[in-house]
A = this chain, B = another copy of it.
Amino acid sequence: MTTKAQPEPSISRKRRERERQEMRASLLEAARGIAAEEGWNAVTIRRIAGRLEYSAPILYQHFAGKEQLLIELMAVGFAELADRLSEAAKASPEDRLTAIAGTYWAFAFASPELYQAMNGLDGVPFGTAETPAEAKTAFRTFRVALQSIAEARGAELADPAGATDTLWAFLHGCVSLAMASRIAGGTDRARTLMLNALEPLFAAQLRRSA
């Protein structure tokens, strides 16, 4: 592909290109703003455009469709997260691990709408509905199993409920990322990583039996 020598873009052409970029950014910001205020299922093309006092089809001058806009927003989120993580990595070596994790957490909860877009959690439809009884049963089963394992080792869980939530979160994190093809190497590698980390994570939940 040969790059033809451009005849120096005219002054107003440059201005319009800049305005295009600004419009594009405004659309992204509008979508994010609506999501922040009313959740992702309030985000419609008409409302995004309306917030900037434009009509709906304007969006297609800047994005291939709604989904493309969301993907772009996901990229924005990851860029921001990378920034913050590298900032947190400047903490002293002893504090660094906590700083990184704390920053990740803070980022997610400072901009839940972004975090949701980044991780395909659009809507979070069940967040409001109370946890169904069946879910509690599943959790309880899990907790009892963990306790039985501890007991078999002549120990007990320091905080049974906490241990349950912690290990459950880990399993869910592994599955969730693997299912979204977010772990390089495919599901087999993901599964192995999960199983490998399981033992130390569990062991840390134990204390000697009284």
Contact = CB atoms under 8 A, between A and B. Distances in A.
Contacts of A133: 75
Interface of A: 67, 70-71, 74-79, 81-82, 85-86, 88-89, 93-94, 96-98, 100-102, 104-105, 108-109, 112, 115-116, 118-129, 131-135, 137-138, 140-142, 144-146, 148-149, 152-153, 161-162, 165-166, 168-177, 179-184, 187, 189-191, 193-205
A194 B174 CA distance: 15
Nearest to A87: B141
Give the interface SS of chain A, mostly helix, strand, loop or mixed: helix
Contacts of A182: 131, 135
Contact of A174 (B70, B121, B173, B181): B173
Given A100-B142, A161-B184, A109 B179 contact: yes
A175 B140 CA distance: 21
Please state the number of chain copies in the assembly: 2
A126 B77 CA distance: 14
A145 B88 contact: yes
A183 B165 contact: yes
B79 A137 contact: yes
Contacts of A124: 120, 179-180
Contacts of A180: 121, 124, 126-127
Given A109-B187, A166-B193, A172 B85 contact: no
